[in-house]
Amino acid sequence: MRYYRFQIAILQALFSLIFLAQISAAQGITLRPIGSNPRVDGALWRTEEDKEDTTKIALPFFDDFTGAFYRKTGAPDSAIWLKNQGAYVNNGYGINPPSFGTITLDGINNLGKPYNFMDKFAVGEADRLTSKRIDLSKASGNDKMVFSFYWQLQGNGSKPDAEDYIALQFKDQSGAWVTQWQRNGGTGSKDIFQYAALSLSNAAFFHKDFQFRFLSYCKLSGAYDTWNLDYILLSRDRKLDEQSILDIATSKIDTYYLKRYRAMPLDQFYANQKNEVVDSIYMSVKNLDKEFNIFFCDVILSDLVKKERLGVMRDTSYLILGQRERKLPVPTNRVAIPKDRERMILEYKFRLNTGEKDDYIKGVNFRTNDTIVGTHVLDNYYAYDDGTAEFAATINQKFGKLAYRFVLNRPAILTHIDLMFVPVEIDLKGETYNLRVWKQLDFKTRGAKDSVLLVQNTILNYADSTNKFARIELSRRLALSDTFYIGFEQLSDKNLSIGFDKNTDSGAEIFSNTTNEWVQNKTIKGSMMFRPVFLNQQIVSTNEQTFESLLAHVYPNPTNGEILIEGKVSTAQLVDLQGRILLEKTFQPFDEYKGLDLTPFANGIYLLHLGHERARAIKKVVLMR
């Protein structure tokens, strides 16, 4: 798998997109492409094509990279493609591909490392996509074989320069690779997948070890010069000028089930379910046939945790015109969400029944692209991001701060923060930074009146695998309500780089402070890999009676000043109804007296948060003199 990359988007080539970097820097935030990691060897990593595999595959050859994407490996199907050649299956680089999922070629190998990290100006052959051997020894020019595919330069990646190119090569009977098609960068639309078709009629290619490959020629120092491919088909008895194929394919999920988040605490979801769920999900399909077609579709909502089908959100038929895309609404109010869960993973699966014939092109299963899936996690944390980082967000200032805004539907206890720092240019492992939590940011007096709940000096460690979060336990639990902010403060001139997801947009929730003034991000679209984690109130409420009766008792209540705690309790926090922590205390197992003095506080109702190991309870305490 690649190293910190999945779907690299618009800001890849900083050399050619300096104006975007200037906009970012003006706000204190700079985005940088991931992959330039000086701790790893930049040496070439590629299979020797002639020695890797002697497997033979039969015609027809077809791949639209839908199946490989669902396997979530990022690698093309090893049954038909050679391994470890750098090309990467994804659903983010391509803009409006023929079907869901594309494969991308650029300047980073299959481990996510630059082909040449030592020279940032080096250019040469980079990613390849090579088929396994195909026996064409019995083929002839009378077979009317056509090789077709769709290609796109840049897409959501980096624009190739004029000297960069992508080439298609066939292997002849002498073992030489012969270029059959080539396109250079420099000009062209990044939004359009263009169709290409070639006749395979040269007798030099009719041998038992025929192969084809795509290769890119580009900068070798990072994830630059992007080319996207889709819908590769080699088959007999086709017309060279016939682009129409009887295939209706899922294309993309346009909107998601939740309005604001890709994940959120389940109790927060239950507290305001109506406002958290969209009225309709929109999904798109494409008709690759020149004729109009009628297809049937359904959308199934399931809970993957319980492995339970919750219901059908859509079940109907549609008409689609020839070679068009159609966006389909899926109402969400037809299926009720269970109320008795501790966590859920909601999956909505969009399935087409297109009536495509098995013998349209014998041996090709065009139904592999008839399903598309979206998921949301309902557990104990919030996430704007989709879990994969394409970039790194940095602040170019000592003591600069980044803050990320979240809004609760009900009071909650913050216990941990998940974050994903990524190495860019230099290794900062072992450096320290300040993890911060704010109740409120001061936008009027240059941050002088920020309401700071926590400043925790923390040692930076990188995760041990791709797109993995590090979970930081807070030094004390924080009772929060309504709006709050999590973030960090950089303590040196060495730029901290936090993972940044370009495929979801919560840019308006990001704030930076590099000049003692908070500035809301208004130009960079995406989400930081930064997640607040909460005490799971669903579990607490389910087990609260057992906890109270077995482990803790608070008295007197009401009290005129002092309260005593009996039971197996190790921590106590007194919190007012605005979420402010007024008093904290830790008890040792051998303490005979466990009590709190509330005399400094005004009469009223307070919340007492008690904890021991994984168990928690919240008690109402009435102070009355």
Same domain, residue pair 207 and 108: yes
Asked if 267 and 366 sit in the same domain, the reply is yes
User: Which range has the top average pLDDT, 54-58, 79-83, 221-225?
Assistant: 79-83
pLDDT above 50 (res 17): no
- The CATH number of residue 458's host domain is 2.60.120
Residues 448-458: b if buried by 16+ CB within 10 A, e if exposed: eebeebbebeb
The residues, ordered by sequence, that sit 6+ positions from 350 with a Cβ below 8 Å of its Cβ are 250, 253, 283, 297, 299, 330, 371, 372, 373, 374
CB 623 within 8 A of CB 606: yes
Question: Is residue 612 included in any domain, yes or no?
Answer: yes
Q: Does residue 11 surpass a pLDDT of 70?
A: no
Question: How far apart (Å, rounded) are the C-alpha atoms in residues 194 and 464?
Answer: 39
Residues 299 and 171 in one domain: no
Contact 94, 230 (CB under 8 A): yes
Beta-bridge partners for 477: none
Q: Which one of 507, 534, 561 terminates a domain?
A: 534
Report the amino acid identity of residue 15. F
pLDDT score of 593 more than 90: no
382 in a structural domain = no
Claim to verify: residue 65 and residue 210 sit in the same structural domain:
yes
Sheet holding 401-407, edge to edge: 451-459, 432-440, 483-490, 401-407, 510-513, 518-520
- Residue 379: count of CB within 10 angstroms of its CB: 20
Confidence of residue 541 (pLDDT cuts 50, 70, 90): very low
Among 534, 551, 575, where does a domain finish? 534
Residue span of the structural domain in which 333 resides: 248-375
Residue from 499, 538, 612 nearest 265 by CA: 538
Instruction: List residues bridging with 413 in a β-sheet.
Output: 479
Q: Does 271 fall in a domain? A: yes
Please write the tens of the pLDDT for every residue from 251-283: 988 889 999 999 999 999 999 999 999 999 999
Q: Residues of the chain with pLDDT > 70: what percent? A: 87
Q: What is the pLDDT of residue 117?
A: 66
Decide: 49 and 115 in contact? Cβ < 8 Å.
no
What would the 3-class secondary structure string for 58-91 be? CCCEEECCHHHHHCCCCCCCCCCECCCCECEEEC
> Are residues 219 and 86 part of one domain?
yes
Q: Report the candidate in 437, 434, 476, 484 with the shortest Cα–Cα distance to residue 456.
A: 434
Q: Between 587 and 42, where is the model more confident? A: 587
Claim: this prediction has a pTM higher than 0.75: no
Cα torsion through 423, 427, 430, 433, rounded to 10: -60
pLDDT for 455-473, tens place per residue? 999 999 887 766 789 999 9
Q: What is the CATH number of the domain that holds 312?
A: 2.60.40.10
* 397 and 521, same domain (yes or no): yes
Do both 114 and 171 map to the same domain? yes
Give the mean model confidence (pLDDT) for residues 379-405: 90
